[in-house]
Structure 1
């Protein structure tokens, strides 16, 4: 590994370790080279997703077989030929670039610390997943599911905590374009995610509808992110972590040099470059729980070293907020993980509080080291 990766590395008795957050808990992995190295991936596989729209169950099962292999061995894959309207993606990127170019005082009207769900604007350096850095060099905007918003066209829920608005939107005349753009993107990504969820079920040898009962009103988020060029080797766009959802779909802006990196079993960072007409899909903590650790919630980070502005549009899909998830039949003990059952809403909120309050002195420190 290069000398520029010191922000997540330490050396102990001539051994080098990479540090990260896994499930909200601080962890580390020893860098393995030479004879100590394990068989592991050195690139992220590309999977043609056109079969996701096929009427043939055999076609969908063949797709699921490829997806399952990627989930077991890597935890990441490119979803190529995803079928989501490219014009929607282009329009969304144009809107988020325009929003992040607005004056700070306009963006801070909807600062994420004003809401319990931390939805809204996140300023530079407010996240700090890697304590050895000055903070995550990014700004972002988070929105998500809201059954009270007619433009989202979501089924109404009888759950009392879903009966009130869940997002906050800027009201300044120069920023009104953001809401329709992100809502349109959210709707398109939710539709694709539901199809992908059925493929994940098939990959686990389950009926396509297996996860339907716990995803009637799924927790979903769009997090628009702006990563400026990093000025020094000690900076990081976002520190090494796993995602706290079922799975994540990432749409990256075109950059010459890859900024997203994933950690393999030898603690070597593997770059994930921009690929046209593709999403980067990664398995997250809840699917790791469902498979008893057989599917990997893979550690990843962003380092924007290429000298270009980078924008990213991750979409996070989770089970219902009041759902509980545990290991499905046939996976108990196979992955070496504990057979735990997790309350989705509680876990999700705890991870939000850790990730969104790390810049506040003294807050979140106890949560970082705690388990479930």
Structure 2
């Protein structure tokens, strides 16, 4: 993991909004008030018929989004046996021969869907690459499981699914998980609206056919301190839900205001929820899209199933009225366009080398500044 040390200062390096950044490590009297663990929020109230219960939940969620950008969603209501079955499917898929998985290599698609081999991702240029393998799927009108309308812009297939007989279990297993997380995310979206003092349905019109992804990930045990499972970054979506396997030692870490990495321990019956770049953008930087990374140093195999949720691909978003500054003009931002630019940065990292990556980061930086987000 990239850290620089001068004669008097230590800096942690990361990517925020696709743009290289750094944070000074503060200790002693220089340290700021910040978090040292993630809050646990009981989500049973998300299913309540009483608006006051949902508003109470939203108040807790809003505080976590402003102060930290991450929280545990406890008692989320998604069937635990479904989650267990999905983890078993992950292990079975990643145990398949490489040639079976490479049939759906993600470099065959512009949307980066399919299988990613070890070390192909490289969010931190100081490392040899991300020590992980993964599989990405997402919104695709040509997949009948999603029951989406096919339009000229959605008529081409986006997902790739393996066809070898040994891998035919994979598609239905992932879709069971996808559908459960999609349903929960739509409920959570309304809690976020309440937390922003908006009507519950405020985001419904821009999420009729949301951009969504499941990224199944396998992290082998790291043997070297210089390796990283996933480089330090922020997520480029609306929000992310993470279901992680139960390892003895935590691997996911969140960066606090003092440049200290806070471990995110796997906890039974919880999702880890984090705010991502779009919600930071529309709240004018009031909600935090927090830097995080994965270092799997505990000697165990680790599996993770993040679900990413964003508005419709053709939606336009801007800073919400209550977060705008007097006299400032905030441009609308194309959701699909921004998402693809961030995706291209990840692809360029390992496809075209460091020079290509710098060009893509510079392009993203210009787009990101259009919304004039304070502190970005």
Q: Which residue of 2 aligns with 1:86?
A: 80
Q: Which residue of 1 aligns with 2:64?
A: 70
Measured after TM superposition, the shift of residue 165 of structure 1 is: 2.1
What is the correspondence of 1:20-169 to structure 2 with a 5 Å cutoff?
Answer: 20-152=14-146, 154-157=147-150, 159-169=151-161
Q: Which residue of 2 aligns with 1:367?
A: 360
Q: Which residue of 2 aligns with 1:343?
A: 334
Length, aligned pairs only: 362
Q: Which residue of 2 aligns with 1:273?
A: 265
Q: Which residue of 1 aligns with 2:185?
A: 193
What is the correspondence of 1:323-334 to structure 2 with a 5 Å cutoff?
Answer: 323-333=315-325
Measured after TM superposition, the shift of residue 341 of structure 1 is: 3.1
**Alignment partner of 1:72: what SS?**
helix
When normalised by structure 1's length, the TM-score is: 0.95
Cα deviation, 1:257-297, whole Å, max 9, x if unaligned, reads 00000000111100000000000000000000110000000
Kept in 1, the 8 Å contact 2:140–2:148? The answer is: no
Measured after TM superposition, the shift of residue 156 of structure 1 is: 1.5
Corresponding residue to 1:303 among 274, 278, 295: 295
When normalised by structure 2's length, the TM-score is: 0.94
Distance in 1, Cα, partners of 2:89 & 2:314? 33
Cα deviation, 1:67-90, whole Å, max 9, x if unaligned, reads 000000000000000000111111
Q: Which residue of 2 aligns with 1:355?
A: 346
Measured after TM superposition, the shift of residue 13 of structure 1 is: 4.0
Q: Which runs of 4+ in 1 moved over 6 A?
A: none
Cα deviation, 1:158-182, whole Å, max 9, x if unaligned, reads x422123221100111111100000
Kept in 2, the 8 Å contact 1:292–1:339? The answer is: no
Distance in 2, Cα, partners of 1:338 & 1:141? 40
**Alignment partner of 1:43: what SS?**
coil
Kept in 1, the 8 Å contact 2:134–2:216? The answer is: yes
Measured after TM superposition, the shift of residue 231 of structure 1 is: 1.2
